[in-house]
């Protein structure tokens, strides 16, 4: 989707996954868990790619893993992420599925969001927030917003206040994610002091916000770092 802080966009789009290929990712994990007598209980469609641009296979995948004859995972334990495809968000809302919608926001206004996420040229912040409110109205499901904290770019107190005003009145949770290192990108993560001040200001203004626990950055597998190291069939 061209997000300027993400490694996943660097290789470009090759093709979309089929529903079966997505299911196989879950089954591969389940086979490992079988040895421990455990089961996959939650699923997040997030990472490389845009699930709502691959809408039918993504929803077919959801249908398969929620089926009682399949993995029987509860819909409320499934999260679908999007960079902001407004028509697809509204389509998903109309289906009234009980899955969680996670929206990659990363900025509280159009000027900044457009500089970080080209998709904002197609659907601006106002349109995106209207779609988020529509999703909540149709499903009753709280929205999750993802917000990568980039040092000196989107992590200052005025932006926290602008963000709080943007989501005012919408049941939501904001995941704050200190941006992860990508060699080809020049962004740096916010300082610990700025991160703490940002989340404290949001909380003070009544916004439910937390800093996401960091995992996988040591092997370039954290948020914004996912990409293929080798091409070809495996």
Q: Work out the number of other CB atoms within 10 angstroms of the CB of residue 215.
A: 10
Q: What is the mean pLDDT of each run of 10 residues along the chain (234 residues)?
A: 60 82 93 92 86 95 94 95 96 97 96 93 97 98 96 95 98 92 67 96 98 53 42 48
The DSSP bridge partners found for residue 79 are 44, 100
| Model pLDDT, residue 234 | 41
| Model pLDDT, residue 12 | 61
What would the DSSP string read from start to end of 109-122? Answer: SHHHHHHH-GGGGT
The domains found in the chain, sorted by start residue, are 7-219 (3.20.20.70)
| Model pLDDT, residue 125 | 98
| Model pLDDT, residue 5 | 62
């Amino acid at each position: 989707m061209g997000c300027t802080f993400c490694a996943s966009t660097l290789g470009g789009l090759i093709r979309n996954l089929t529903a079966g290929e997505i299911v196989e990712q879950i089954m591969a994990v389940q086979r490992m868990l079988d040895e421990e007598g455990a089961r996959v209980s939650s699923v997040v469609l997030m990472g490389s790619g845009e699930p709502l641009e691959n809408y039918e296979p993504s929803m077919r995948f959801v249908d398969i893993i929620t089926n009682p004859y399949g993995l029987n995972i509860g819909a409320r334990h499934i999260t679908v992420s999007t960079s902001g495809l407004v028509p697809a968000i509204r389509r998903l809302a109309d289906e009234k599925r009980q899955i969680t919608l996670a929206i990659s926001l990363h900025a509280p206004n159009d000027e900044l969001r457009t500089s970080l996420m080209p998709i904002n040229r197609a659907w601006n912040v106002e349109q995106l927030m209207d779609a988020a409110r529509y999703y909540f109205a149709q499903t009753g499901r709280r929205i999750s917003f993802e917000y990568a904290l980039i040092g000196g770019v989107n992590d200052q107190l005025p932006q926290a206040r602008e963000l709080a005003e943007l989501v005012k009145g919408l049941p939501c949770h904001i995941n704050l994610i200190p941006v992860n290192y990508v060699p080809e990108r020049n962004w740096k993560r916010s300082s610990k002091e700025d991160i703490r001040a940002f989340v404290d200001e949001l909380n003070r203004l009544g916004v439910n916000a937390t800093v996401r626990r960091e995992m996988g950055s040591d092997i370039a597998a954290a948020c914004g770092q996912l990409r293929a190291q080798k091409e070809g069939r495996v």
